[in-house]
Amino acid sequence: MELIYCLNDLQVERLHQLYLSSWWAKDRSLEETRCCVAGSQICIGLTDATGYLIGFARVVTDYTFKALIFDVIVDESYQGQGYGQQIMEAICNHSDLERVKHFELYCLPEMASFYEPFGFTDKVGNISLMRRAK
């Protein structure tokens, strides 16, 4: 498996297929997928030997105070083999993110144990998640 930091058009299409297989991104269009990849400062993909995308995550950041990790996803047939951890380690150790004070992400409660070994906690004081939907 190989980590990549730039997705080609076929890999973006594959990412869209991965999104469609998830409950949280199944309504995204291919154009929205292209836009979110283009609008993210850091994208990390994981490919097999043929360049086929099997995992992905992206980061939106100011490179100083905050880095928001989004869309951590691994193809269902590759889950449980350490590929998600490999992607998270690549984010946490990315040289462009060395100065970032806080890494943040959203996850379901049952996924918290996956992120805890990387130093994530849900103990963030009295902060509330707020959202404005369109």
Confidence (pLDDT) at 64? 95
Q: Tell me the catalytic residues.
A: 115
Q: List C-alpha distances in Å: 118 to 71, 76, 77, 91.
A: 16, 22, 23, 10
Strands (E), the chain: 2-4, 42-47, 53-61, 66-74, 102-105
Which domains, from first to last, does the chain contain? 2-118 (3.40.630.30)
Q: Give per-residue pLDDT as tens, 82-130.
A: 999 999 999 999 999 999 999 998 888 888 888 889 988 888 777 877 7
Confidence (pLDDT) at 83? 95
Confidence (pLDDT) at 128? 76
Q: Give per-residue pLDDT as tens, 34-66.
A: 999 999 999 999 999 998 999 999 999 999 999
